[in-house]
Amino acid sequence: MATNLTDAITITRSKIYKGACRLVYADPTMYTSFPGRLESVMQPGTPADAGATAYELAHGLYDVESTNEDGVALRRVAELSDGIPIDQRSFALDEGEPEDWDMEAEFTLMNTSLEMLQIAWELGTLTAQAADATHVAAHKLSIGAPKSFTERMAFLVQEDPKTTKLRCFAFRIAKPQVDSELNIQKTDASGLPLTLKLSADPAITDDDPFGCIFEED
């Protein structure tokens, strides 16, 4: 029998997960079906298919590339009910039961290319401008005021550096919460703090309306 709490706990390497995380987003016009297997997001380091390329993303998925050293924070929150007040006792029945759930991912983008700003800030059309006798070649990104947010699937893929096994958080609906600031500085990189709202798909009646987690054995 254990004599104290630490005697009753066995920690093994397989229960501790660490490693770099890749944030991946879907082009909603190209990647339209929620994945049923890990390989539908990314091939593992040692693919089961001998003809597959290790760590290759599925068609229609794109890497956000770099975030800052704080990585990605995933948050899950339950909105609790007020319960049912009763006269006989000074408490409410079913108080604290979840009525709704919210999830979000928070990170700081270090990749602040025009293509990434277009997605993060829900900006408009990106067009190339050719050079001529009086102008240099450039790109122009429109800053508009859209009436809705673009819904797309999003994935967080983490590799354990010791085992090379992958864990993938897959979310059905991700929308940027455009309440962020681009830190334009003289010497440091211009980071873009961003929060993705991760929503449950109301059309899904199974037990995974938000998505799922794949973990390589």
Q: What is the pLDDT of residue 10?
A: 54
pTM for this structure? 0.81
How far is C-alpha 14 from the geometric centre of its chain's CA atoms?
Answer: 24
Range of the domain at 53: 19-71+108-215
Q: Does residue 174 form part of some domain?
A: yes
Residues 6 or more apart from 85 whose CB is under 8 A from it?
92
Q: Does residue 46 form part of some domain?
A: yes
Q: Does residue 95 form part of some domain?
A: no
Number of domains the chain is built from: 1
Q: Does residue 82 form part of some domain?
A: no
53-62 pLDDT, tens per residue? 999 999 999 9
Residues 6 or more apart from 144 whose CB is under 8 A from it?
123, 124
- Dig out the tokens for 188 from the structure: 């440091």
Q: Does residue 113 form part of some domain?
A: yes
Residues 6 or more apart from 152 whose CB is under 8 A from it?
25, 26, 27, 28, 173, 174, 175
Regions of the chain short of the pLDDT cut 50: none
15-51 pLDDT, tens per residue? 566 666 788 999 999 999 999 999 999 999 899 999 9
Q: Does residue 96 form part of some domain?
A: no
